[in-house]
Amino acid sequence: MSCMVRAVVVRAPGTNCDVELCRAFAMAGAAVDLVHLDRLCESPGRLDGYDIVGFPGGFSYGDDIASGRVYAVKLREKVYPALRQAAARGCPMIGVCNGFQVLVQAGLLPGPAAGEPWPDVSPEQSIALTDNQDARFHDRWVGFDVNPASVCLWTQGLLEELADQTRVRLTHQFPAAHGEGRFVTASAAILDRLEQQGQVVLRYADNYNGSQNAIAGVCDASGRIFGLMPHPERFLDWNRHPSWTRLPREMIEGSQTPGLKIFRAAVSACVAAVG
């Protein structure tokens, strides 16, 4: 994979998956920089030099007020115009766990309806990740289903695996660790729009946190901005799987993990766009 693709991971105090996200982009073939959110607030135009943007998980700013709230406010107030321009030029973005919470509070997800332009000001929040239904923090591996009708760029490699149900059952799992991961929408109309436009990307196989429609991840209408609660960047190597010694050797040898496939799909799309 060519390193002509440049990715940036935007860290903040309390994010703790920065290095894993950087490693994911590097393994996928991108050149990656780790940049503090404050540096981006000082100079939002820095985003113009990047092809992909990543927002890592963790507990940004201690999750004061609510998970991802302080980080999201800074994005809305200081960086949204640059993010809007990046989205308009087709820049893929991903937010994982806390990063997903940030994207929805900053108005980048679910984004404008298909065919509509990005607004000049940050959209009002219409979806949220709130307290798990049992009000407990869960740290576990979770199974997920890929929506075959999804328009998401990031999961194209996973869609190709759906015909092999044995592989899907054994390997379509990611670590998850959150107390505020239950997906909810402001109205039934918004949920219907997400379903109809292919913006629902991943569903929990076991909807342990009570998310609406078991939703674990969504994208914008273009399929380029993707947010999910489980952590693909923590499953880049087969030996991270909790049962990896029991996985059939012929299934995993020479193949990529589902986590790595997510990042390679985005980098490959950027390489193809450059030509």
111/139 Cα distance (integer angstroms) = 29
Question: CA-based angle 147:148:149, to the nearest 5?
Answer: 90
Residue 68: inside a domain: yes
Q: What is the CATH number of the domain that holds 169?
A: 3.40.50.880
Residue 109: inside a domain: yes
In the predicted model, what is the mean pLDDT of residues 218-222? Answer: 98
pLDDT for 136-162, tens place per residue?
999 999 999 999 999 999 999 999 899
Q: Which of 22, 91, 97, 219 is catalytic?
A: 97
For residue 2, is pLDDT > 70?
no
Q: Which of 91, 233, 241, 270 is catalytic?
A: 233
Which residues make Cβ contacts (< 8 Å) with residue 140, sequence separation at least 6? 175, 176, 177, 208
For residue 275, is pLDDT > 80?
no
> Is 241 one of the annotated active-site residues of the chain?
no
For residue 166, is pLDDT > 50?
yes
Q: Which of 91, 152, 178, 231 is catalytic?
A: 231
In the predicted model, what is the mean pLDDT of residues 90-110? Answer: 97
Query: The pTM is what?
Result: 0.97
Q: In which domain, by residue range, is 48 found?
A: 6-274
Averaged pLDDT of the chain: 96
215/190 Cα distance (integer angstroms) = 13
227/93 Cα distance (integer angstroms) = 8
Q: Quick one: what percent of the chain has pLDDT higher than 70?
A: 99
pLDDT band at 64 (very low <50, low <70, confident <90, very high): confident
In the predicted model, what is the mean pLDDT of residues 247-272? Answer: 96
Residue 226: inside a domain: yes
Instruction: Kindly give the residue spans of alpha helices, DSSP state H, lying in 115-231.
Output: 156-159, 165-171, 188-196
pLDDT band at 1 (very low <50, low <70, confident <90, very high): very low
In the predicted model, what is the mean pLDDT of residues 228-237? Answer: 98
The total number of structural domains that make up the chain: 1
pLDDT for 14-59, tens place per residue?
999 999 999 999 999 999 999 999 999 999 999 999 999 999 999 9
CA atoms within 13 A on the CB side of 92: 27
In the predicted model, what is the mean pLDDT of residues 82-91? Answer: 96
Residue 1: inside a domain: no
> Is 178 one of the annotated active-site residues of the chain?
no
48/154 Cα distance (integer angstroms) = 21
> Is 233 one of the annotated active-site residues of the chain?
yes
Residue 256: inside a domain: yes
182/212 Cα distance (integer angstroms) = 8
